[in-house]
Structure 1
Amino acid sequence: MAVRHVWVNRKPDQVWNVLGDAEQYQRWVVGTRETHTAEGQWPDVDTKLTYAIGMGPLNMHGHTIVRVCEPPERLELEASAGRLGTARIAIRVRPWGEGSLVTMDEHPLRGAVAQLHTAPVDVLLQLRHRLMLARLRDVVEAGRSEADREAGKHV
């Protein structure tokens, strides 16, 4: 099981603003391109987000379905990569000092990814999560914080 966390210098609501925005998904999820909400209103439970995934000339289509949505603390997704199978991705956001602690937990559910799940696969997932959480942090922190907006009102 691949579990990683990152500290984000923004409050949980600001992290949730990115997690809850389907248009932001491809900015932080590694390998995702061209996202589209296919069914429902992201991130409502059972909403389906479709996308192209791949690197370089290799492309395939996948989708993610929201299984649990408890703003601004918990988002659980089931990601499908076609014949490769599905994975559960659980994201938790907790207040931590002046910012937020974001924890990501992913493990294979079905298909080839579940059957081939080994320690080396977990290492690859850890590397992917490190990059994905860094991207999420960067996207969230690039947004203006409440303090920044308040300071702008007084200028």
Structure 2
Amino acid sequence: MSRNAKVMHCTPEDVFDVLADGWLYPSWVVGASRMRDVDEGWPRTGARLHHSFGVWPMLIDDETVAEEFAPPRAMVMAATGWPLGEARVTLHVKPRGSQTIVRIQEEAIAGPVRLVPRPAMDILLRWRNAETLRRLAFLAEGRAARRTGEPVMPSAIPADESELPAS
């Protein structure tokens, strides 16, 4: 199971504003290339995002299902990527002073991807999810800057989860 964390210069509500806008999914999820549709009930449990991953002409149409949406603390999604399989992605969001710590955890739950040795999969997912959190931070911090009228001033951000405070 791969885990990453990032300090974001915004509130948990700013993060959840991005997560609640299904049309932004390919803007922050590495590998998602376009949105085809967003269920009207997104992000309620069972609602779906209909997206594609890859690049033309090798686009694969798939979907992500909301399993839990509990702002301002957590979101759980089941993301498909057939023919590779499915993954459960959990985001934990926690305020820390004027900042927010977002932790992402991803694990294969179905399909051939479960046969990939865990250490190899963790290396790939750690890189991918670090970029995913970086993109999510850009969007959430941008919303915070518009809301407050103040520019986002990034500070020294820990390079890995071991430098962050415990959950």
Q: Deviation string for 1:80-136 (max 9, x for gaps)?
A: 112211000000111011111000000000100112242111100000011100011
Tell whether 2:149 aligns with 1:148. yes
Q: Deviation string for 1:9-52 (max 9, x for gaps)?
A: 00110111001111111110011122144544111000011111
TM-score of the aligned structures, taking structure 1 as reference length: 0.89
The residue that corresponds to 2:8 in the other structure is 8
C-alpha contact 1:91 1:105 (8 A) present in aligned 2: yes
TM-score of the aligned structures, taking structure 2 as reference length: 0.83
Structure 2, unaligned runs of 5 or more: 151-167
RMSD over aligned Cα atoms: 1.6
Query: In terms of mean alpha carbon deviation, does 117-126 or 32-41 score higher?
Result: 32-41
Structure 1, unaligned runs of 5 or more: 150-155
The amino acid of 2:142's aligned partner reads A
The residue that corresponds to 2:95 in the other structure is 95
Matched pairs, number: 149
CA distance in 2 between partners of 1:24 and 1:79 (Å): 15
The residue that corresponds to 1:62 in the other structure is 62
Query: In terms of mean alpha carbon deviation, does 38-47 or 134-143 score higher?
Result: 38-47
CA distance in 2 between partners of 1:127 and 1:56 (Å): 23
Q: Which has the higher strand share?
A: 1
- Return the offset for 1:72: 1.7
The amino acid of 1:96's aligned partner reads R
The residue that corresponds to 1:108 in the other structure is 108
Tell whether 2:126 aligns with 1:126. yes
C-alpha contact 1:50 1:64 (8 A) present in aligned 2: yes
The residue that corresponds to 1:152 in the other structure is none
The residue that corresponds to 2:136 in the other structure is 136
